[in-house]
Amino acid sequence: MTVVTKAWLGLGGNIGNVPSAMANALQRLDHDADISITSVSPVYKTPPWGVEDQAWFHNCCAEIETILSPEQLLEACQEAEREGKRERIVRWGPRTIDVDILVFEGVEQNEQRLTLPHPRMLERAFVIVPLADIASSLVLQNKECREWANSMDSSDLELISTDQDWWKLV
């Protein structure tokens, strides 16, 4: 019997046409026979985090269903990044596309290659706000995602699109 698991991804970037790059990554993942995109948040324009002397980012989150293991899903996400010309030069630096696994249902792990849930997502409004748009009742550290979002300063996040099918139209 094949087990289908939900997972949530965070996408972003700040080089080139990022909404198009995110749409391409989502379409690539959705065309994988082992992955199905079930919901995508609106796009937000957000200030840089970590390395602050760079262009603002565009960010969104996606809910998927998959039969892949977390490690196999990580490979699929990294392949989508490679197809989007992602270069890993500076940590938290400029990039064309970034696809992170935020939560993989039922999995908690702290491995060198992949830590789940994502270890820094609760510090980042640019992750939690779009995640709350599609998974408001998802429980993260004994608190619903909407509660995390409501407790964060998101005043510098700019809603770019409210159409949740934006990624299919690019």
Which tens digit of pLDDT belongs to each residue from 45-74?
999 877 788 899 999 999 999 999 999 999
State the pLDDT at residue 92.
59
Enumerate the domain spans of the chain: 5-169
Per residue, the 3-state secondary structure of 44-101, as one string, reads EEECCCCCCCCCCEEEEEEEEEECCCHHHHHHHHHHHHHHCCCCCCCCCCCCCCEEEE
State the pLDDT at residue 121.
95
Task: Kindly report the pTM of this predicted structure.
Answer: 0.93
- Rounded Cα distance between 53 and 95, Å, is 13
Q: C-alpha 77: how far from its chain's center?
A: 10
- Rounded Cα distance between 89 and 46, Å, is 21
CATH 3.30.70.560 fits 5-169, yes or no: yes
- The number of C-alpha atoms within 13 Å of 61 and in the hemisphere containing its C-beta is 22
Give the tokens for residue 69: 């293991």
State the pLDDT at residue 91.
62
> In degrees to the nearest 10, what's the CA dihedral of 152, 93, 45, 12?
-90
Residue 87 has pLDDT above 80, yes or no: no
pLDDT digits (tens, 9 = 90+) for 109-153: 999 899 999 999 999 999 999 999 999 999 999 999 999 999 999
State the pLDDT at residue 84.
74
SS3 120: coil
